Structure 1
Amino acid sequence: MVHGEIWTVKELFTYPNEYIYWSIQIVMYPFMTGLVAGAFVLSSLYHVFGIQQLKDMARFALVFSFALLFAAPMPIVLHLQHPLRGINVMMTSHFTSAIAAFGIVFFSYGAIVASELWFLYRKHFVEIALSLKDKQDKTFSEQLKFILYCTLTLGVYDISEEALKKDEKAIKVLAGLGIPVACFLHGYAGFIFGSVKANALWMTPLMPVIFIMSAIVSGIALCLLTYIAVMEIRKLLASRKKTPYQMYQSKEELKSVEMHVVKITAKYLLFFMIFAISLELLDLIFRGYTAVKSWDVLRSVIYGRDFTDIFILQYGIGNLLPLTLFLLPGLTLRRTVIGVLLVLFGVFMMRYNVVIGGQAFSLTFAGYMHYHLPIIPHNLETLKEGLFGAVGIFVMPFILFYFIGKVFPVFNYKDSH
């Protein structure tokens, strides 16, 4: 059976070998890399531009970006017919191919984020290592923890005021350097689509820019949603008095901190949303105005067969509705949660409409193809390329964030940065 035949339904005149080859995992790929870039940009708003109101969110977003980084290449690995070949992109990366360049960009971005995290938490590593070093009769878990934190210090135990100031400078430099690299990490995904000359929907120079702006929106939205969820759990634990060691002791203090951070972050989310929506509408209007040869079939797809997906789900529910929720005065926590969920849905639908919609018409412009997402898997192919595979990729960074947060404390840690 040909790859893609399971979930493709043909209509009118299509080549015998034409199918929707790029399925839900290729939708998840730009979606997940966009979350990585957006989360890092959010953290850099404090470290680079000095926006003090985002200090708490900046550390949270940076750690979350690191967790998202490991999940970013997984959709490609699952989509490959020979997954073991995926490592070739990392081992033989070069700039003569847009896909092969991923290895260089991914490693560069990973090194920047890891280095920034090290400088941010170096004082914490040293303090934990020294406290465990002086402790007598350490348990087995404490011994493992001591080895871990001693390793993470990299042999640098100087936490004087002068050393910490140098750390702050290094963090600012890395954050500034990381912004263009993070944008390039996701922008090149849009470059891959925009450079496909054979596809009328993808061939536009605005594609990388649109991908970058929507990536920032989705990253901020996911960080905000996760932050609210974690803070609600902390408030629940604080009310039961199970977390006496945390920075904020009472439920009221936690609620005050939460709403302050949420409102400030929501303002920046709204700012980037306006830019992202403007770019997408500009691209749509430009296509209609120029009306090139392929516009007839594109119009039948955009305004006909995919009208619900594009104008109702993506622009209506995913853009206009959350924009209205955030613009209304008196922003509440419940309205914020609904808004960011709708924003994430809108960005996902944008990725879906680009990837799937770009394959919805035949290369002859005389036929159409419809994609049916495999819900219940009946073999390995439908498991990887179906609903369960997509949900697994989305859940993966949250699990990683839980364990990474044990080493890089997000909330209950006071630093000098």
Structure 2
Amino acid sequence: MWPLVEIPPDWVLPNAAMVNWVFPNNTHIHWTLMVVIYPYITGLVAGAFVVSSLYHVFHVQTFERISNFALIATLCFGCFAAVPLLFHLGQPQRALEIYFTPHLTSAMSIFGYVYGSYMLLLMVEVWLTYREYFTEQANRATGIPRFLWTMLTLGVTKYTPDSARIDYRITTFLAAVGIPLAFLLHGYVGFVFGSVKANVWWATPLQPLIFLLSAISSGIAMLLLLYTFIHWRSGRPYDFAMIRWLMSFLWLAFILDITIELLEVVYVRYEHGHHWSLIGPLLSGPLFYSYIIGQMFVCSLIPILIGGYIVLTRVGGKILLYLANISCLLVVLQVLLMRFNVVIGGQMISGSERGLVPFHFDWFGKEGVLTAMVLLSMPFVLYLIISRLIPIFSDTGIAHQNSSG
């Protein structure tokens, strides 16, 4: 009988009624810039620690001069890795309850234990690495400085060759244990996003691997940028052989990272199923400039070409330095864009699966752009303070360079 009934025009839905339609309670993006820079900083932690471990564990002698620099940089980034989450929380004063009320089936709860264990390991490794220097300063200083240096030595002001050998073996062991811990610290972030089955932009088993490879790439790139800036400011000579080796590792890690990122999107595009009906409009719409142009073309293609030129040719001197820094700067920006596109882009897909939620930058709020810039700068401020207290690039009083085990 229905075909014989005339439907009033007011009952007919407009042609675009179900296009770009979102649920009324899904009109805002809740995980904003703080959740973007949180995995970014943890990625720098993992990547910088890998460079440090290449010498301390795998004995790659080329990285001997920057091994302790990478270790201190890891500590500086690690100290602020969880701070963005505190800004994001509605009640940050309850953050420590994650340790007192364990919930072992929650991936987010496990982060507290992994992060706490890793930071404890990192601080012990740094302390053992510089224990000889602390002892020398405690024996040389007088008054209040002597008291402070003695506190850092825990009251032990004698340092012998046997002490150096023991410290070396312990730090090597800690560095070896720290590698899987660092990978777990950052891989868990990818696991959290990849396990959200309801979000087609996040739900992929490749997410932890993508986060890990991008973390290694960004950590290496950031270290090289810091190394160049510090040596430029202090007038120290550059180690071009080390820069070339570092660029080789960066090029390899970045190629693997981009390959897997592209495979994820190409697979969904080739399958052309329901997922692509949501991801396609997302990439061609609000994420076109940040993902297609910024992340994939400008900040991915150019570093790969520059890195290939550096690795496959005999370029050296200032040209090597300039090209390496351009490549590293683009890699750092690429990983930051990747974090933005994953975190923000995934939330743009409405729960209705029929529309996209807009995102607007907040410049001066608690989770705004200004707050994000301040938090991103804090690890560098901490590094500046630490570099005034201990010799980071000097071999004096550092147990790793004085003992061969």
Counterpart in 1 of 2:10? none
CA contact (8 A) 2:150 2:156 kept: no
Q: What does residue range 4-403 of structure 1 map to in structure 2 within 5 Å?
A: 12-18=20-26, 19-132=28-141, 138=142, 143-235=143-235, 254-255=236-237, 257-328=238-309, 329=313, 330=315, 331-375=319-363, 377=364, 382=365, 384-403=366-385
Gap runs ≥5 in structure 2: 1-18, 401-405
RMSD: 1.7
Q: Distance in 1 between matches of 2:92 and 2:367?
A: 13
Q: Distance in 2 between matches of 1:269 and 1:91?
A: 40
Once the two structures are superposed, residues 290-309 of structure 1 have per-residue CA deviations (whole angstroms, 9 ceiling, x without a partner) of: 44433211122124442222
Superposition TM-score, scaled by structure 1 size: 0.86
Deviation at 1:312, TM superposition (A): 1.2
Q: Distance in 1 between matches of 2:126 and 2:174?
A: 10
Aligned-partner residue type, residue 261 of structure 2: E
CA contact (8 A) 2:130 2:399 kept: no
Deviation at 1:71, TM superposition (A): 1.0
Name the stretch that deviates more: 359-368 or 328-337. Answer: 328-337
Once the two structures are superposed, residues 36-76 of structure 1 have per-residue CA deviations (whole angstroms, 9 ceiling, x without a partner) of: 11111110011111000101111101001101111111111
Secondary structure at the aligned position of 2:326 is classed as helix
Q: Distance in 1 between matches of 2:133 and 2:87?
A: 37
Deviation at 1:130, TM superposition (A): 1.4
Q: Distance in 1 between matches of 2:101 and 2:144?
A: 35
**Number of corresponding residues:** 373
Q: Distance in 1 between matches of 2:105 and 2:149?
A: 40
Q: Distance in 1 between matches of 2:116 and 2:147?
A: 26
Deviation at 1:94, TM superposition (A): 4.0
Secondary structure at the aligned position of 2:357 is classed as strand
CA contact (8 A) 1:89 1:102 kept: no
Aligned-partner residue type, residue 123 of structure 2: A
Superposition TM-score, scaled by structure 2 size: 0.88
Counterpart in 2 of 1:249? none
Secondary structure at the aligned position of 1:123 is classed as helix
Q: Distance in 2 between matches of 1:46 and 1:291?
A: 46
Once the two structures are superposed, residues 5-44 of structure 1 have per-residue CA deviations (whole angstroms, 9 ceiling, x without a partner) of: xxxxxx8211111021111111111111111111111100
Aligned-partner residue type, residue 276 of structure 1: D
Aligned-partner residue type, residue 121 of structure 1: Y
Deviation at 1:79, TM superposition (A): 1.1
Q: Distance in 2 between matches of 1:75 and 1:91?
A: 21
Counterpart in 2 of 1:406? 388
Secondary structure at the aligned position of 2:356 is classed as strand
Once the two structures are superposed, residues 113-149 of structure 1 have per-residue CA deviations (whole angstroms, 9 ceiling, x without a partner) of: 11111111111111111122xxxxx4xxxx3321222
Change (3 A) 1:93 1:410: farther
Secondary structure at the aligned position of 1:99 is classed as helix
Aligned-partner residue type, residue 356 of structure 1: I
Deviation at 1:90, TM superposition (A): 4.3
Q: Percent identity?
A: 37
CA contact (8 A) 2:247 2:307 kept: yes
